[in-house]
Amino acid sequence: AAARIRVAQSALAVERFRLKHANALPGALSELSPTFLEAVLADAFDGQPLRYQKLPTTGYVIYSIGKDRKDDQGAAKAADGQGSAPDITFTVQR
């Protein structure tokens, strides 16, 4: 649950950044600190900063590596389409 809350909190901070910067997205989560987040939130599974990727469109994904502790680059579904999601993601597409 902590990982899901942290990615959601980070997404809210990105959205506040976007609103203040004429729809521009931050290049990295570190740009959110200290105005929108006190600090980049840590992944509950490995203690490293949450991961953030801009999408080829105009969106982004913030993610935790999840309980398998493997970075699946923000994959929201298992490669075979079965089982649980490899990473815990929060995706915004505009």
pLDDT digits (tens, 9 = 90+) for 54-92: 998 889 999 999 888 888 887 766 655 665 668 999 999
Its pTM stands at 0.86
Q: Classify residue 93 by its DSSP letter.
A: -
Residue 80 pLDDT: 58
Tokens 């994959």 belong to: 75
Give start and end residues of each alpha helix (H) in the chain. 2-20
**Mean confidence (pLDDT) of the chain:** 90
Extract long-range pairs of 20-26: CB within 8 Å, 24+ residues apart: 25/54, 25/58, 25/60, 26/52
Tens of pLDDT, residue by residue over 15-41, are 999 999 999 999 999 999 999 999 999
